[in-house]
Amino acid sequence: MEIKVLKDILGANEQIAERNRRLLDSKGVFAINLMSSPGAGKTSLILETIRRLEGKVRIGVIEGDVSSSLDAEKISERKVPVIQINTGGECHLDANMTSRALDNLALEDIELLLIENVGNLICTAEFQLGEHKKVVILSVPEGDDKPYKYPLMFHIADVVLINKIDLLPYLKFDIEGFSKAVRGINQKVEIFPISCTTHQGIEEWVSWVMANMRSSAPEALT
């Protein structure tokens, strides 16, 4: 019986996600769902992306957290429109929460929407929000065995960012072995090693964003 309830929830969620995606497309907004463990660097990546695309792309942000508005405060210092969703205990964002956030953003002023999901490497993978691409951040200190332990997250990712590579001298992390494990469950994934501290790899990430904005929503760049 629990399984039936869960199926209903997921079915309803997909319908709302589809509606979100149509709304975003109609406004020419390209949306990315950013997922990771707590503290892997989602907010830092958003801040880096804003920095690199300032004056080039109009960005909006949705911040998902169980509690607090710490991240939204950091984003709003950069003069970027941001909506904080507090899930109040829920371990992931869903399409309905996203829909309410979209209602509170001036979408006509946004070309790129970065959605920071709740810090969770499991539950967030199951819920469509209406995004165009799913980006997973795995940070070096978490270890290179994570694709084996959390396969769904790496299976659904369009991009995997290996963050905090500036810590590689102090930790054991096999980038090649990790990448091979990810590709073993997801042949189409793109993988970029990055550091939001030293800015390594950010250029490649931002190029990927720009290229995908163009190909999936041409009206966003007019």
Judged by CB under 8 A, the stretch of 22-30, 95-103, 118-126, 213-221 that binds a copy of itself is 118-126
- Closest approach of Cβ 117 to a copy of itself, in Å? 12
* Contact call for residue 1 and a copy of itself (CB under 8 A): yes
What residues contact residue 57 under an 8 Å CB cut-off, 6+ apart? Answer: 111, 112, 210, 213
Candidate list 10, 15, 18, 39; residue touching a copy of itself; CB under 8 A: 39
Query: Is 206 exposed, middle or buried (CB count within 10 Å of its CB: 0-12, 13-18, 19+)?
Result: middle
What angle is formed at CA 55 by the lines to CA 205 and CA 22, rounded to 5 degrees? Answer: 65
- Closest approach of Cβ 65 to a copy of itself, in Å? 5
* Contact call for residue 149 and a copy of itself (CB under 8 A): yes
Euclidean distance between CA atoms 15 and 10, whole angstroms: 9
Candidate list 164, 182, 196, 217; residue touching a copy of itself; CB under 8 A: 164
Closer residue to a copy of itself, CB minimum distance, 1 or 11 = 1
Residues 167-204, buried b or exposed e (16+ Cβ, 10 A)?
A: eeeeeebeeeebbebbeebbeebbbbbbbbeeeebbee
Query: Is 107 exposed, middle or buried (CB count within 10 Å of its CB: 0-12, 13-18, 19+)?
Result: middle
* Contact call for residue 192 and a copy of itself (CB under 8 A): no
* Contact call for residue 183 and a copy of itself (CB under 8 A): no
Q: For residues 43-82, which are near a copy of itself according to CB under 8 A?
A: 65-68, 70
Name the residues that contact a copy of itself, by CB under 8 A.
1-2, 5, 9, 37-39, 65-68, 70, 89, 91, 118-123, 139, 141-143, 145-146, 148-152, 164, 166-167, 170-171
